[in-house]
Structure formats: C-alpha cells, structure tokens
C-alpha cells in the first residue's frame, strides 16, 4: 500500500512499478467497454472522470503541498460550464468541454491569486470558504445555474458530426484520464516539477533562492483547475445533469478522501483512489450499508500511518 507521500521519488523500483500498474489499468481500460454491460460502462466512465479530477487534486496536495477543501468548485464549475453551453449554445462536445476547461482554469487561477500566499492550514480553511462561495452562487443564481435543482436533461454531445453515446463518452473519459496522467508525469519530470517540490518542501528557502513561490502556486492551481474543469465537463455529459452537490464541501471532501486513500504523493495514486473509492461505494453499499464508516476509518488509518507527509513544511 502506498504511503501518503508515495514511494521515494528516486527509487528505480517505483518507476517500474508504476509503469506496470499503468499498463494494467490501460489494458483494463481498453477491454472493459468491449465486454461490460451499459451500466458498468456508465459507471467506469464516471470513475475515470473522478480519477482525472483526483489526479488534478493530487497535483495540488501532493506535489505542491497545499490541501484544498474547495477543489469541487473547479470540477463542478467545469461541469456547470459544459452543461450551460450544451443547453444554451451548442451541442458540440468540443465547445462544451472547452468552456469547462476554461472555466476551471479561471477558477484555479483565482484560487491561486487570492489564496496563494497562505500557509497550509489557512489555505485549507480559505479554500473551504472559496468552495462555499461557489456553492452559494450555484444555489442562488437560478437563471443561469438552475438553483438548487441544477441543470438537467443534457443532450448527448456531438463530435465530428456524430452523437456520442455512453461507450463513446467512456472513450473520451479514458483519453482524458490518460492525458491527465501523462501531462502531470511530464511536468514532474522536468524543471517545473523541481520548482513544485522546492516550493512544497521549503517555501522560505525557495523564496531566498529567488523562486517566486506565489507564482508557482498560481500556475499549479491554474493547471489543476484546467484538468479538473475538463473532467467535470465530461462528467456532466455522462451523468446528464449537474447540481450544487457536484461542487459543495462534501464533494470536495470526497476527492480529498479518494486522493489520500490512493496515495496522494504519486501521480497515479489518486486515480487508483478514485477507482477504489467509487467501486467500493457501489459494491459495499449493497453489502455494508454503512460503507462511509469504513471509508472514514480507512482515511484516518492512512493519516495516522503517514502523518509526517501531512506536515505543512517550513512556511513562508
């Protein structure tokens, strides 16, 4: 089981292990839609969206070292943007997803600009407030967001002149999840990854070395927002509707739990966490009505096993 901060970043074994896992998942991902019944495809597609969302969250919590309790605002915001475009402007997938990504990016940037100078705990609470604001807007601005009922009846989107069905949406979700994984991995492998980790590990040293800590945080949150927004946009079509519950505090809590359970220090950890969480939720809820109790306890166990990974390091 990966610990909170994942295996040591420089161990050659961990590199091979994650390639193996990646290959397994990719294989499963390709085989599934050919064999599974519609409900499962629907679920798996959603899982992949959550996975992409969780990975975007992992970028912020694991790699940048800031724990956000408002990350659902980026995902849900993207979902709302896509839904609004689909219902009011165009049934093109690209238009809707594009809007979703842009919206998420904007949210992320705002989060970074306004909250980027805050330390771990302050950032956590402020992000909670930020998420709360977005939820309030979603609940209140009924003409645009549909209020507490949300937006329903999304049509299937079109791509290259074709209406996309569940299987096609699954493919889109899979591509998104894969692209998210690759993008984050590539970033971490090069100089930006160094900067991220430096800012995470010791913001005071980073600043004294000439690194613009605030700027690094803004860029990271913007990128994370883009990825989360895109995931949210795709999820809107899979579910067929959006509601404030996709962006409230308990949704933000859910992605946090997913990422932590899967191992927030690695790139793929949150994806595994999202997969595990959602599948367990489906499976366990038949067998164990109180699966949330099991999830909560598992979360606490992970926190207790690797509390050092939680540390807000030498704060700027």
Partner 1 sequence: MQEAALAIVSGLLYGCTLMLVATGLTLIFGVGRVVNFAHGTLYALGAFLGASIHAVAGLLAACLVAPALVAAMAVGLDVLIIRRLRRHGDMAVLLFTFGLGIVIDALITGIWGARSYVVPVPDALAGGVHVFGGQVSVYSIVLAVCSLAVTGLLVAALHRTRIGLYLRAAAENPAMAEIAGIDVDRAFTAVLAVGSAFAAFAGVLELPMIGASNGMDLTVTVLVFIIVIVGGLGSLAGAAIASLLVGVILTLGATYASSAAYLLLFAAVIGMLLIRPFGLIISRSE
Partner 2 sequence: MPEATPEPAAPIRQPVLNAGGLSKNFGGKKALQAVSLRLEHGSIHGLIGPNGAGKSTLIGVLAGTVVPDEGEITLAGAPLGRATPRRRARDGLGRTFQTPHVFDSLTLRQHILLGARDGGWGFEAAAHLGLDPLLDRAVATFSHGLRRLAEICHVAAYKPRVLLLDEPAAGLTMVEMRQLDAALRWLQPRLAVCLVEHNMTFLLGIADTITVLDHGQVIASGSPDAIVAEPAVREAYLGVSFARH
Report how many residues bind partner 1 under the rule CB under 8 A: 47
Cβ contacts of 147 within 8 Å, gap of 6 or more: 139, 140, 141
Binding mask 248-287 for partner 1 (x = CB under 8 A): xxx--x--xx--x---------------------------
Residue in the block written with tokens 């050919």:
34
- As a whole number of angstroms, the distance between CA 164 and CA 148 comes to 28
Helix axis angle for 166-189 and 191-201, nearest 10°, is 80
List C-alpha distances in Å: 10 to 3, 6, 59: 15, 11, 18
- Would you count residue 220 as binding partner 1 (CB under 8 A)? no
Binding mask 63-102 for partner 1 (x = CB under 8 A): ----x-----------------------------------
- As a whole number of angstroms, the distance between CA 157 and CA 238 comes to 10
Among 30, 283, 296, 305, binds partner 1 (CB under 8 A): 296
Q: Which of residues 153-192 bind partner 2 (CB under 8 A)?
A: 191
Closest C-alpha among 216, 240, 247, 212 to residue 103: 247
DSSP 92: B
- Would you count residue 207 as binding partner 1 (CB under 8 A)? no
- As a whole number of angstroms, the distance between CA 252 and CA 256 comes to 6
Strand, helix or coil for residue 225: helix
- Would you count residue 202 as binding partner 2 (CB under 8 A)? yes
Whichever of 180 and 254 has its CB closer to partner 1, that residue is: 254
Query: 92: which strand partners?
Result: 158
Binding region for partner 1 (CB under 8 A)? 67, 114-115, 117-122, 124-126, 128-130, 132-133, 136-137, 139-141, 248-250, 253, 256-257, 260, 289-290, 292-293, 295-297, 299-300, 303-304, 307-308, 310-312, 314-315
Binding region for partner 2 (CB under 8 A)? 5, 8-10, 191, 194-195, 197-198, 200-202, 204-213, 313-314
């Amino acid at each position: 089981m990966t610990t909170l901060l994942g295996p040591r970043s420089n161990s050659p074994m961990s590199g091979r292990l994650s390639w193996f896992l990646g290959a397994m998942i990719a294989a499963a991902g390709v085989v599934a839609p050919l064999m599974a019944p519609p409900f499962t495809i629907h679920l798996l597609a959603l899982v992949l969206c959550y996975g992409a969302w969780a990975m975007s969250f992992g970028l912020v919590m694991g790699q940048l070292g800031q724990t956000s309790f408002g990350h659902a605002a980026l995902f849900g915001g993207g979902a709302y943007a896509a839904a609004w475009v689909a219902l009011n402007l165009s049934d093109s997938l690209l238009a809707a997803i594009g809007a979703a990504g842009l919206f998420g990016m904007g949210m992320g940037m705002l989060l970074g600009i306004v909250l980027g100078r805050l330390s771990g705990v302050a950032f956590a609470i402020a992000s909670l407030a930020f998420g709360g604001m977005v939820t309030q807007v979603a609940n209140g601005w009924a003409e645009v967001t549909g209020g507490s009922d949300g937006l329903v009846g999304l049509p299937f989107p079109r791509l290259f002149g074709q209406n996309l069905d569940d299987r096609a949406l699954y493919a889109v979700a899979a591509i998104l999840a894969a692209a998210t994984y690759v993008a984050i991995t590539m970033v971490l492998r090069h100089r930006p990854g160094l900067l991220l980790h430096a800012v995470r590990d010791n913001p005071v040293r980073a600043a004294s070395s000439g690194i613009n800590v605030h700027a690094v945080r803004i860029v990271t949150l913007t990128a994370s927002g883009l990825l989360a927004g895109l995931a949210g946009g795709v999820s809107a079509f899979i579910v067929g509707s959006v509601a404030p519950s996709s962006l409230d505090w308990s949704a933000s809590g859910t992605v946090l739990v997913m990422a932590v359970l899967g191992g927030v220090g690695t790139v793929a950890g949150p994806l595994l966490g999202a997969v595990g969480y959602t599948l367990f939720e489906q499976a366990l809820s038949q067998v164990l009505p109180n699966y949330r109790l099991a999830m909560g306890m598992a979360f606490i166990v992970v926190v207790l096993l690797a509390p050092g990974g939680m540390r807000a390091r030498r704060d700027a």
